[in-house]
Chains A and B, each alone.
Chain A
Amino acid sequence: MKKSALDQRLLTERKVVAAIRDKMDALAHAQFLKRKKPSNPEQKKDRYNGLSKTELRKLRKTKADYLKSEIDLLLRSLGLQPHQHDPAIPKASADESMMIRFDFDGIMHRPRMTDFSESYLRHRQLNVENKIFEEDSIETPFSSSDYNLNDSPAWNKMKNFANFRQLRKRICRQLAGNNIPPSIISDMNYYDFVDIIIDIAKKSNNRPFEASRSKHLKMFAACYGQQFTEIMTALRVKPQITQSILTNMRKGCCGELLDLHHIKNVTNFHEMENPYEINNFSNMVLTFIHPHHRSLHFGKGYDIDENIVFFGGYDPAFQIRRNPQREMEYLQSLGFGKKNGKSY
């Protein structure tokens, strides 16, 4: 595309971005009312004083509904469609939601005592009490080969994620080390397994796995770094900022301007043909936080073309479309075969 044509489209893009920001700001300020200090002493009565609470609520709702429909119309005019959830498809349960977050962010949150299964909690407490004795005074009664994790419905969900799957042997060793009887595996829930994974991480003083988010950012920089630089240049972003973003991405971080967005919403992951591909690179799009990412989450969310891997603008001139060949070559360079690459 000629530079002059691209510049013209950038001008329009900036107007669109400004319009979305303005409408979101207006919505943010219209629905709720902030009382201002009177600038002169005679102006003590603020403009909402004469209205009852019901009238105020009605006023706020009318303003908000109007602005929401304006934003919706604007986003639809840009080709985004509000997500339609099929009520027959269940939403993610709390443990499924947490599982997806753990795999994606790799962040460890120790579960609450009330989250644990009854049998796991009982044995966990026994183990804590046993820890007060010398290590050789109590013999570990179980070995890692005694455990069949497939007996646990929770593990059967977790193992769909490569990050958890690769921990299987270490989990079995840790279960044995914590004196958890193999007979209670079938009762163990997701939070019990998280507790074990945290123990593994603490023991090795290392993260249990590299988060999917971090892997995807590296993959984006490797596969699309050149196109990304070209679009950022077209968007008139300073070259040193673009380079700094790419350097961060190569380290698995996204910085302050951009974030990864799940094309298919995490809460609605059961809508996917293979729900456990929710955190795959194929379900990711990199986008600016303000206002692009926010607009994709506006209301109940907007659907975006799954072939877009970088949503740098509402105009396709500032977007990158996927190149499966390049992604496959990258995965093969990391030693993943075709089969494994699919679940990366």
Chain B
Amino acid sequence: MENLIKQLAALAGAKFNPPAVAEDIICYQKDLAFNDIALLPPDFLIFLHHYNGFAYQGAFVFGLNPSSDYFADILSEHALADIPDDKNLVILGSNEYDYLAYNTEAHAYQILDKYDFSVLTEYDSCADAVRNVLRLDTV
């Protein structure tokens, strides 16, 4: 994760929202549970402590009530995504054709096709999954 944060900080043309604070994260986790959506995984919380929303070349990692409209909010994106009801899934990012999600049942970050929600690939690590959705090399 540390390498990813350094890599993102050095990306020319990227936009980011300031970090989320612990209190906001706790409240947000309650909102997710209230709406029958899976809780945010621990390594994604580390990401939020650096960037509460990140955008690069039309690809996004969502945030928690981000301060600017430019960045997408996780709950709002769930509403717009129209994803099938799945208590095990939380959508964390998107690009033109994919969603980045965390699946609590599979214990994995998944890249889902935006159109039919089929799983295209899975990652154990949050960092590689974020790289995938932001269209950065994972090798």
Interface residues of A (CB under 8 A from B): 24-25, 27-35, 37, 53, 64, 68, 91-92, 94, 97-98, 101, 105, 107-110, 112, 115, 198, 201-202, 248, 253-256, 258-262, 265-268, 289-290, 293-294, 297-301
> A259 and B97 in contact (CB under 8 A), knowing A94-B118, A109-B137?
no
A33-B34, A98-B121 given; A256·B55 CB < 8 A: yes
Given the complex of chains A and B, what is the CA–CA distance between A32 and B75 in angstroms?
7
Contact (A112, B79) CB under 8 Å given A107-B137, A289-B58: no
8 closest pairs, A vs B, by CB?
A259-B58, A28-B76, A31-B79, A267-B115, A110-B139, A32-B75, A109-B138, A32-B35
Contacts of A101 in B (CB 8 A): 97-98
The answer on a CB contact under 8 Å between B55 and A94 is no
Q: A24-B80, A33-B31, A259-B58 are in contact. List 20 more A-B contacts (CB 8 A).
A: A28-B73, A28-B77, A28-B80, A33-B34, A35-B30, A68-B82, A94-B120, A98-B121, A107-B137, A109-B128, A112-B122, A255-B57, A256-B13, A258-B58, A259-B57, A266-B97, A267-B116, A289-B58, A293-B96, A294-B80
Q: Are B115 and A35 in contact (CB under 8 A)?
A: no
Interface residue total, chain B, C-beta cutoff 8 A: 42
Does chain A have a CB within 8 A of B135?
A: yes
- Assess whether B50 is interfacial by the CB under 8 Å rule: no
Cβ < 8 Å to A, chain B residues 59-115: 65, 69-70, 73, 75-80, 82, 96-98, 113-115
Q: Is the beta-carbon distance between A27 and B80 smaller than 8 angstroms?
A: yes
**Please, which residue of chain B has its CB at the minimum distance from the CB of A259?**
B58
Chain B residue numbers with a CB within 8 Å of A262 are: 96-97
Q: Is there a chain A Cβ closer than 8 Å to B21's Cβ? A: no
Complex partner residue of A198 from B36, B77, B139, CB under 8 angstroms:
B139
Find B76's partner among A29, A53, A110, A253 (CB 8 Å cutoff).
A29
Which residue of the partner chain B has the closest CB to A85? B115
- B79 & A253 in contact (Cβ 8 Å cutoff): no
Interface residues in chain B, defined as those with a beta carbon under 8 Å from any beta carbon in chain A: 13, 15, 27, 30-31, 34-37, 55, 57-58, 65, 69-70, 73, 75-80, 82, 96-98, 113-116, 118-122, 128, 132, 135-139
A98 CB contacts on chain B under 8 angstroms: 120-121
A261 close to B96 (CB less than 8 A): yes
Q: What chain A residues lie within 8 Å of B82 (beta carbons)?
A: 68, 299
Chain A residue, CB-CB nearest to B57: A254
CA distance in complex: A293, B138 (Å)? 26
Q: How far is the CA of A29 from the CA of B69 in the complex (A)?
A: 13
Q: How far is the CA of A18 from the CA of B118 in the complex (A)?
A: 33
In angstroms, Cα B40 to Cα A238, docked, is: 39
A111 closest partner in B (C-beta): B121
